[in-house]
């Protein structure tokens, strides 16, 4: 496996979100992707993607605030993909 990284970004890609999927060896010494870590990171980034980091930090006052914000973010993203989800 190589440690080479190639970047193909343009100046207008400043809003680009990049996720790196790490790999590890399983019990059979096979190289496998760490998909669960990727899924957790992606799920955690959804509210920031939908609302922006500053706005999220202002809205989260305690741990009970997180789930409703994630639900709202998912609905907003669904609306973009499917053209008009009503909240």
Q: Which pTM was predicted?
A: 0.45
Exposure on the CB side of residue 53, measured as CA atoms within 13 A: 3
Tallying the residues shown for the chain, one arrives at 87
Helix axes 35-51, 66-82, angle to 10 degrees: 80
pLDDT digits (tens, 9 = 90+) for 58-69: 888 887 888 888
Residue 71 pLDDT grade (very low, low, confident, very high; cuts 50, 70, 90): confident
């Amino acid at each position: 496996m190589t440690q080479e990284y190639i970047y193909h970004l343009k100046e207008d890609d400043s809003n680009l979100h990049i996720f790196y999927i790490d790999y590890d060896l399983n019990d059979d010494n096979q190289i496998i992707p760490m998909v669960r870590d990727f899924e957790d990171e992606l799920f955690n980034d959804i509210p920031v993607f939908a609302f922006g980091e500053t706005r999220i930090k202002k809205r989260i006052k305690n741990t009970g605030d997180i789930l409703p914000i994630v639900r709202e973010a998912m609905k907003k993203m669904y609306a973009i993909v499917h053209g008009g989800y009503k909240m």
